[in-house]
Structure 1
């Protein structure tokens, strides 16, 4: 795939993911949450320009830093996502404003890494960015699935929810 096509795929996936994160979405623990990140990673790794042949050390350090940044962004995004259970026991999620802030910080960090690479004269392909996006989505999906499993019904059929164990004051109704 050409660099322009990779960039188009990255922009399209990011736009869909960002747009969908702010709407309520059901989390299913039986879903294959790892498929989209795996496909993105395969597409990214099949390109030969992930590491610059003329600046292998610098390019490898930038790629490693990109992947660590992507992992942190994915974890931050997952932990700032609100999850809850519905009365039927299904688990839902929706990103918060803090999740949007994580995306903004992540984009700024990635632009900074791109700028550092440009200053060092390292050729940077879109494959590294696509690999970072795959890592972000993989971590986010994995953490959300893990968090959702803790909210699924227990053997007694009860679903734990935020606020369980907090003593509530019940008021009498007057007729």
Structure 2
């Protein structure tokens, strides 16, 4: 699993954390980067070990759920057969027990749509009123068309556009190992 050198690296990390270590040279920065690499390696080993257990547990779960699905389908079939047999005598029959109900629900007839074919057909025939169009802001063009003055976005012709605010520049730190 974890080699001795990596163990040593991680132990010295804990020692230095206790001492209040500071980086004040390229050499100490390089040492800190080696420690970060050791921590990353250890994280990866922990994740791999956990993943092996997770994969095994998921395989067991899936096997059990597949077995249950087979039994579920069997009992659904039996209950459905009973329901329809009883419906021959009583058209409003429902199964209602302390452990559950079995009923039917009618679904009204409707339409199925092939979005691309319907849209093409409507466009070809010029029927625009049945097609939704989504409006969006052309942000690049808007940014080029004006500037922020006193906290408000003003277009070149002097019109004020509400809802535009200035986003301050920021800086983030990235660690590459």
TM-score, structure 2 as length reference: 0.27
Task: Identify which of structures 1 and 2 has the higher relative contact order when contacts are C-alpha pairs closer than 8 Å and 6+ apart.
Answer: 1
Higher Cα Rg: structure 1 or 2? 2
TM-score, structure 1 as length reference: 0.27
